[in-house]
Amino acid sequence: MGKVLNFVDGLKNALTGQGTSRDPRTATGYCAARALTQHEIAAAYSGSGLLKKIIQIPPLDMVREWRDWSGLEDEQAALIWDEEKRLGLREKAKLAETLRGLGGGAFVLGLPGLPSEPAPETISQRGLAYVNVVSRWHLSFTVLQDDATQPGYGEPVMWQMQTATGQQNVHPSRVITFRADTSASLITPAITGNDAYWGESRLAQVLDAVKDSDTARASFAALLHKARLTRIGIPNLSEICATSQGEMQIGKRLEMIALAESMYNAAVYDSGNGTDGPA
């Protein structure tokens, strides 16, 4: 015979309802959140100081020390350094990583040839004319490469970018994307199109926690304001204020109390015979 195992809950679980329908945890569940819009991301980023730190600090750490070249002659390393400085690559890498935290960004490379044509495999010195940074909302695509046996699987067949002269096709070889977290889009059928390609931003991943933190901070700040308010109890206040003379006396007395607190950082009151409380 097989071994009999006891799976019966004890009296403690029966009393608390743990694991039964009376357990409030049984109603806990997770649901797929909708993707944030560009305007919602912009509002959250500009409105929360904590969110700005979460988004800005990692890119700053990435480029603070930049990088050293190994296996190159000093002259070659100096040429690369000068080229990076000419292109402003360090600052633009920081900006692109910041855009990654907000939903995605990209480098658009100024390589020889038409933008819609594949980039050349090799270029001459200073052949890279520029490196421009754009956000995910500057780029769009219509078709993704869905054949896993072909190069560029999961990447756009062609990028479209809106310019002052109209829509411009840009070949994928001329674009370097900085995508957000795309792991959720691989298992979530509800996420499609641009949101599936660019992934879930770091801002969206921490937004609920940041909301809780900002709410707690604002509530605590409001409590600090209330904590310094002086509470003054006056017997028969309504009867005293019923006359103009009584109202004037109350006003002068409160004015003197506030003046004493301002000048001496202390509350001054009539102690009566020395045993009574504040009058």
pLDDT tens, 61-104? 999 988 888 888 889 989 999 999 999 999 999 999 999 999 99
Q: Quick check: helix, strand or coil at residue 169?
A: strand
Average pLDDT over residues 188-209: 85
CA-CA distance, 60 to 93, in Å (whole number)?
10
pLDDT tens, position by position, 161-196? 988 888 999 999 999 999 999 887 767 665 667 888
pLDDT tens, position by position, 245-255? 888 888 888 88
User: What do you get for the CA distance between the two ends of the chain, in Å?
Assistant: 85
Find out whether 194 and 140 touch, Cβ atoms under 8 Å.
Answer: yes
Tokens standing for 264?
């001496």
Phi, psi of 33 (to 5 degrees): -85, 145
pLDDT tens, position by position, 69-79? 888 888 998 99
Buried b (16+ CB within 10 A) or exposed e, 76-88: eeeeeeeebeebe
Would you state the pLDDT for residue 279? 47
CA-CA distance, 243 to 238, in Å (whole number)?
9
| Listed ranges 39-48, 149-158, 222-231, 233-242; the one with the highest mean pLDDT | 39-48
Per-residue pLDDT band for 8 (boundaries 50, 70, 90) equals low
Least-confidence region, from 11-20, 128-137, 210-219, 243-252: 11-20
Q: Tell whether the model's pLDDT for residue 274 goes beyond 50.
A: no
Would you state the pLDDT for residue 160? 95
The mean pLDDT value of the chain amounts to 84
